[in-house]
Chain A
Amino acid sequence: MSPLVLCLAAALAAPKVSNVNRRVEEPPAEPIRVRLEVGGHLGFPHWLGVVARSTWHFAEKPRFDLDVQWEPSNYLQSYSVGGAWRPLDSIVYVGPRLRWLQFVPPWSRAYDAAGSNKLGLSAEAGVRVPLGAEKRAVLGAGLFATWVPAQPANLSFLFGLTVGLTYGLVDFDVPQAR
């Protein structure tokens, strides 16, 4: 029997306990810290917005954001859910947003339930810069393009930007599964 085959047989026959021991020796997974923020923004075409956002920190650095937004107005309204990813855990973010758009608000006489409500899909990119020592305040600026598939002609694409401020109210940890 060649030494190579003997070596392989020995490796296969080795007790599994050694693997268990190695796993036990690993440090426990660091929990994900989630910060809940609330704030608002200005911009166009949604000139005003309020936002509630959760920012998911890995090793103390933000990596993902999930938020809900309401952008009320006297004409174009948007209710949306957005997600964002921070490449390299940086201040830069990119992400999608699903919008329920009202191209005339329900309280206007021009509102028509069948024609005024549309779904839109946005692609967003921007920066979210933490401010202060505690980094609880976050200044954000972003650009987005919204596609409204059911709104042909001039309203099928909208461009926009936002500049806003949020403040982190609550932090909590979520255990990280390995």
Chain B
Amino acid sequence: MRLLLPLFIGVVAWGCRPPANLPKAVPIDFASTGGPSTFSAEATLLERWDGGVLERRWTRGELGHFQGVDGLALRYSVHRASPSRGAVVLVPGRTEAMMKWAEVIDDLVANGYSAYALDVRGQGASDRMLPNRDKGYVRAFDDYVTDLATFVRTVVRKDEPRNVFVLAHSMGGAIATLFLDEHPDLVTAVVLSSPMLEIHTGGFPAPVASSLGLTACSMGDGTDYAIGYGDFTEETDFAKSSVTSSQPRWAWKVGLYRDHPSIRLGGVTWRWLCEALNASSRATTLGRFATVPTLLLQAGADTVVKPGSQDRYCTESPSCQKSVFPNAKHELLNETDAIRNDALSQVLKFFAAKGNP
């Protein structure tokens, strides 16, 4: 009995899956690895967008849609490089529309990678699930994962069966982590930028915020806004930005949502919050099973997600390498040039090192 009870608890609590029995991958030394280091400049971003070359390149992308879970029409755009070194699937963070990735897409294509950008369900130009389009809602976080698998299988791998890379940010990082656990065979390598493996609960201690969220989800359908959230409001004060230190990139993003009201998204609903808490918690534990080469980019000044679970994921994963940017805010690829160039350079070096010839 003394032995059986802990054994039972252990099995139920931790599951029966054996961890990936692989030696820890040797990390890439980015400083001594050659590769691109200059990319789109923040100083010229606004002029390159407003009718400029960047906007023209963005509009040349092939737009399409596919059917996600429950028949929702999910939008994507494809930007091909010729010749292509592989496909990079962009999995966005919460609130992000694929148009916000135009600058990254431009840099990827310029470096020989075809970019496949996706508007996940309930965001951007994809179908929303509630009458109020501003509400950030998802019925099941796994729907994001199923949609991503459908996208990779039916769209991306048809074009690029050799090298499929994933570049996922924040919420997209949680989606990608769960996706990799289910479909490691579909992807060559992945970069997780500030993955949402532990949500920063701000002024509320995490147990209090979680308990409140779970209560709200338990009592109804979770479609009301969570405490402190509401419809979309335009950001007006750069100094208050918690996601970037780059004023031009912040202004560009604000302008995008001003000019394209249909792709805006407001605050989170209780259901989204509960699903995100559950999913990020689950994703954190999956590192020890991970086999796909992973680069985790961690922002040192992140106030949106916490680093502890990112550390755990990467430490437990035999295939994960972590890279920390001490002064960076949450959106590493939307940060100042110094940070962004470094991060993007590491992304491309990682893909080059892990891709099939």
Contact = CB atoms under 8 A, between A and B. Distances in A.
A160 B210 CA distance: 11
A150 B309 CA distance: 13
Contacts of B217: 74-76
Contact of B214 (A114, A118, A150, A158): A158
B253 interface: no
Interface stretch (B12-20, B51-59, B101-109): B12-20
B210 A154 contact: yes
Contact of A47 (B140, B198, B215, B284): B215
- Contact residues of B: prevailing secondary structure: helix
Contacts of B140: 108-110
Contacts of B139: 109-110
B211 interface: yes
A145 B207 CA distance: 9
B222 interface: yes
Interface string A108-135: 1110101111110000000000000000
B142 to A, nearest CB: 6
Contacts of A160: 211
Nearest to B220: A74
Interface string B1-31: 0000000010011110100000000000000
A118 B15 contact: no
A117 B12 contact: yes
Contacts of A116: 278
Contacts of A119: 9, 12-13
Given A75-B214, A109-B139, A117-B12, A154 B281 contact: yes
A58 interface: no
Contact of A154 (B14, B209, B285): B209
Nearest to B280: A153
Interface residues of B, number: 43
A155 B281 CA distance: 7
Nearest to B282: A115
Nearest to B313: A152
B141 interface: yes
B215 A44 contact: yes
A103 B207 contact: no
A157 to B, nearest CB: 4
Nearest to B305: A153
- Most B Cβ at <10 Å: residue of A45, A75, A117, A151: A75
A159 interface: yes
Contacts of B333: none
B219 interface: yes
A119 B212 CA distance: 20
A155 B277 contact: yes
A46 interface: yes
Given A149-B13, A154-B209, 15 more contacts: A45-B218, A47-B218, A74-B218, A75-B222, A76-B214, A76-B217, A110-B141, A112-B282, A150-B15, A152-B285, A154-B201, A154-B277, A156-B207, A158-B211, A159-B211
Interface of A: 44-47, 73-76, 100, 103-104, 108-110, 112, 114-119, 145, 149-160
Interface of B: 9, 12-15, 17, 139-143, 197-199, 201, 206-212, 214-215, 217-222, 274-275, 277-278, 280-282, 284-285, 306, 308-309, 312
15 contacts: A45-B210, A45-B215, A73-B219, A76-B214, A109-B139, A118-B13, A119-B12, A150-B14, A152-B284, A152-B312, A153-B199, A154-B280, A157-B210, A159-B211, A160-B211
